[in-house]
């Protein structure tokens, strides 16, 4: 059975700043910075899951647009992009720290500080590419 997850590149209108979360769990993500997101609950659509996760994790109301997929052996991550005017309204809502980073800070960060594919997804989110797929 495949598990569905969601995450969103939450950015300002200039695509220069991004809401990121530093994860405490699961173990393979502990201490790494990535995009806001989580597991899709039973009976929930992926769009509803992304809206819920953004509200729960950083208190932002978003209008997510699906633009990519990450496929693993037993999971699919639906990757969204959300543009918000109030990016600095993002706040830590749970035990995982929310921070707004510039695109330059993300691109220059050591790879071991970020979850897999963060830099690639930032690149896709800023390009002319309409969709992407990553197979792990």
* Residue partners of 12: CB distance under 8 A and separation at least 6: 83, 84, 85, 87
Could you read off the pLDDT of 54-103 as tens digits, one per residue?
999 999 999 999 999 999 999 999 999 999 999 999 999 999 999 999 99
- The mean pLDDT of the chain is 95
pTM: 0.94
Domains and CATH numbers, the chain: 3-128 (3.90.79.10)
Q: Cα–Cα–Cα angle for 128, 116, 96, nearest 5°?
A: 105
Rg (CA), the chain: 14
């Amino acid at each position: 059975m495949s598990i569905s997850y969601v995450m969103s590149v939450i950015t300002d209108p200039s695509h220069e700043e991004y809401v990121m979360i530093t994860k405490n769990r699961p173990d393979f993500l502990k201490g790494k910075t990535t995009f806001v997101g989580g597991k899709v609950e039973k009976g929930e659509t992926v769009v509803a899951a992304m809206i819920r996760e953004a509200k729960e994790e950083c208190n932002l109301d978003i209008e997510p647009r699906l633009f990519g997929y990450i496929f693993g052996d037993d999971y699919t991550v639906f990757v969204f992009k959300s543009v918000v005017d109030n990016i600095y309204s993002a706040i830590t809502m749970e035990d995982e720290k929310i921070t707004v980073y510039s695109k330059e800070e993300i691109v220059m960060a050591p790879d071991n500080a970020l979850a897999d594919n963060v830099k690639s997804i930032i690149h896709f989110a800023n390009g002319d590419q309409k969709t992407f797929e990553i197979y792990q």
